[in-house]
Amino acid sequence: MPVDLQALYPKLIHLMLDTVFVVDRDNQIVFVSDACQALLGYRADELTGTPITDYMHPDDLAKTRASIVRVMNGQPHFDFRNRYIRKDGGVVHILWAAFWSEEVGARIGVARNVTALWQAEEELRFLAHHDPLTGLANRALFNDRLDAALRAAQRHDSSLALLFLDVNDFKGINDVHGHAAGDQVLRMIARRLQGCVRETDTVARMGGDEFTVLLTDIQSQGDVCEKVAQILAVMAEPPDADSSVLTMPSCSIGIACYPADGEDADTLLSHADDDMYRIKRQRSAAG
C-alpha cells in the first residue's frame, strides 16, 4: 500500500522541534506549527491572524524588516538572527531560514531557538576580554583601551593617568589563609577599585595580585593624587563580613600621567610599574 505523503506532510511539520511560520504579504501569520508554544509560549491559534512584527523585539525591528524585504525580493535568508518577546515577557534568540514562495503567496520561515548558543557565545566573548576570577578587564582589553584613550588624548590635547596597584605581602595571605582566601581578597579589591572610578575609566587585573586603573580626561595632578588617596582609604577598610581574612592587605600604587611621564602605552606602563616598586621599597625601608 503506497504511503500518502500529502496526508503525512502536515503531521511531519507539527512533529518538528523547530517552528514553521507561514506569513502573508502583510506580515500576518497564516500558519504556525505546534512547536511555537515551546518557542514563544503562544498556542498556534493565538498567533494565527496576528502580525508577526507584534512579537519581535523592538530593538531588532529595523534589521528584521530589512531581512523581510530581502526575502520578498527573492533572496532566501538562511542565517538570520533576531530576538522575539515570549508570552511570559522573556526574550528568545532565534535563528531563521526563510524564503518567499510565489506559488503560495507567502513567506515561509523555520525558526530555531538559539538562546543557549547565544549565551555561550556571550560568555566566550566575555572570557576573551575579562579576568574570570574578578570579572575585570584582562590585560588584552586594558591594552586596547589604553591605546584608544591615548589616541583620544592626543586628538583632544587632554590628559590621562595610569595607576599600577600591587597588593603588599599577598603571598603571606595565601600561605596563612589558603588560596581560596587569597581569591576572596582579589575579588574584594576588584569591587572596591570599581567603586572608586567612573564608568568611563577602566580597572583591570593584569595577573596575580597586580591591577591597573586607567583614568581618562584628567584635569590636574591633584585630581590623580586625590583618587589614589581615595583608593588607599577604601582598601584600608575592614574586609567584607563573609571574608575569611581578618584584615585587608595594604597596597602600593604607582602613577604615570600622559603626557608628562610618557606618550605611548609601553612607556606609561613602565613608569607606573617603576613608581609602584619605588613605593614598595620605601615601605620596606620604613618597616
Residues that are catalytic: 209
Pairing relationship of beta strands 210-218 and 202-207 according to DSSP bridges:
antiparallel
> CB neighbours (10 Å) of residue 221?
13
> Is residue 237 classed exposed, middle or buried when 0-12, 13-18 and 19+ CB atoms within 10 A define those classes?
exposed
Round to whole Å and give the CA distance between 140 and 267: 17
Round to whole Å and give the CA distance between 125 and 278: 37
Take residue 108 and report the three cell numbers written for it. Answer: 515561509
3-state helix, strand, coil in the chain (%, to 5): 45, 25, 25
Round to whole Å and give the CA distance between 4 and 243: 70
Residue with cell 535568508: 77
Q: Which helix (H) or strand (E) holds 23?
A: strand 19-23
Take residue 229 and report the three cell numbers written for it. Answer: 588617596
The amino acid at 3: V
Phi–psi pair at 72, nearest 5 degrees: -70, -15
